[in-house]
Structure 1
Amino acid sequence: MPHIALNNDLPGITGLMVHRPDTGGPLGDLADALLRAPSSLEPGERELIAAYVSRLNGTEFCASSHGAFAAAQLTGGRELVRDVLADPGTAPVSGRLRALLAVAAEVQSAARPVSDKTIAAARAEGVDDTDLHDTVLIAAAFCMYNRYVSGLATELPEDDAYYQHAARRIVADGYRAGIVEGD
């Protein structure tokens, strides 16, 4: 049961954002900027980074949501996402994406600089400044989103089909649309 009374029965961050559109709107805008705006990283790759950080943080709603959003946009779909969330070191992804997931994991683990060794490994895989910037910002933002969702003890959807429905909506319309529509 959530720690606060919500004016809706929506799960996870969706319920929080609909409950408080004054804060939910900017959070949705930030998610759109991080995960959907033009970038050197594909939207599915950015969603996968968000799902991975959420899994590391133990926030099931966000890991499942962003995993579904990544699966809807990446070749390899659910199987690829499952493999990455289980072990990015052996998952069938490019060396570049594997290196960015390692950067994201270091950002998730502590508020300190990413190690020179991890940065050098990423650079060796062709990662540029924009890739690093975007990955670090996604990982840091998802630590905040995860703490918001987990800290208020939001509920999980009753049916896992929720995640596929949400994936279709997010891929088509973005994050801000769900706040207005409430689904």
Structure 2
Amino acid sequence: MPHVSIDSGEPGIRGLFAFRPETAGPLNALAEVLLRGDNTLTRGERELIAAYVSGLNECRYCTASHAAFAAAQLPEGMHLVDRVRADVGSAEISPKLKALLAIAAAVQKGGREVTGDLVDAAKAEGATEREVHDTVLIAAAFCMFNRYVDGLATYAPDDPAVYAAAAERIVKHGYGYPAPAVAPAVAVAVAEQAGQPG
């Protein structure tokens, strides 16, 4: 059960955004810039970084959400996302993206874990300074998002269709677009699964 009263019936960070809309705006704006703004890394690659870091942090809601968002924007879909999460080294991604994911994994452990050698390795594979910067910021931001979601014990649905629907909305409208109102039947189902009164 969440540590705060989430009346919207929405899971994860969506429920927290409804609880505290004043903080939702800046956090959504940050996600929009980092994951959807102009960049030499594709939107799918940036979502993959977010999903990867969320997986390392064992945040169920953010991992499932951003895995779905990445899969919806990568030609190889969820198969690739699952491969990366299982074993980056054998995944069919570019050496540059592997090097950037190594930086992201270092950030997840702690900022000072990012070494010059990791950065040099990424640059040797063609990563730009902006790509290194944005990888570090995506990883750091998702450590914050993951701790926000799990620190308030939000609910993470088991149904992949919930995340697929969110992916469709994010791909089409972005992070600043309001979520549709939760239908009463959906709100009751979410509350029951979360152990809350409907």
Q: Assess same fold via TM > 0.5.
A: yes
Give runs of ≥4 in structure 1 deviating > 4 Å.
Answer: none
Question: Which residue number in structure 1 is paired with residue 4 of structure 2?
Answer: 4
Question: Which deviations, in whole Å up to 9, do the C-alpha atoms of 1:16-73 show, x marking residues without a partner?
Answer: 0122111111111111011001011110000000000000001011011000000000
Contact 1:14 1:178 in 2 (8 A): no
Question: Which residue number in structure 1 is paired with residue 40 of structure 2?
Answer: 40
Q: Is 1:166 equivalent to 2:166 in the alignment?
A: yes
Question: Which residue number in structure 1 is paired with residue 194 of structure 2?
Answer: none
Q: Pick closer, same or farther for the CA change 1:178–1:157 going to 2, 3 Å.
A: farther
Q: CA deviation at 1:182?
A: 4.8
Q: Distance in 2 between matches of 1:61 and 1:182?
A: 19
SS in structure 1 opposite 2:178?
Answer: helix
Q: CA deviation at 1:159?
A: 2.1
Q: Is 1:150 equivalent to 2:150 in the alignment?
A: yes
SS in structure 2 opposite 1:177?
Answer: coil
Contact 1:18 1:182 in 2 (8 A): no
Q: Distance in 2 between matches of 1:52 and 1:113?
A: 17
Q: Distance in 1 between matches of 2:181 and 2:106?
A: 34
Q: Distance in 2 between matches of 1:97 and 1:82?
A: 15
Question: Which residue number in structure 1 is paired with residue 185 of structure 2?
Answer: none
Count of aligned pairs between the two proteins? 182
Contact 1:59 1:146 in 2 (8 A): yes
Q: Which runs of 5+ in 2 are unaligned?
A: 183-198
1:10-159 to 2 correspondences below 5 Å = 10-112=10-112, 114-159=114-159
Q: Which amino acid aligns with 1:131?
A: E
- Asked which structure has the greater CA Rg, the reply is 2
Q: Which amino acid aligns with 1:59?
A: C
Q: Distance in 1 between matches of 2:130 and 2:141?
A: 16
Q: Pick closer, same or farther for the CA change 1:158–1:98 going to 2, 3 Å.
A: closer
Q: CA deviation at 1:120?
A: 1.6
- Over the aligned positions, Cα root-mean-square deviation in angstroms equals 1.2
Taking structure 2 as the reference length, what is the TM-score of the superposition? Answer: 0.89
Q: Which runs of 5+ in 1 are unaligned?
A: none
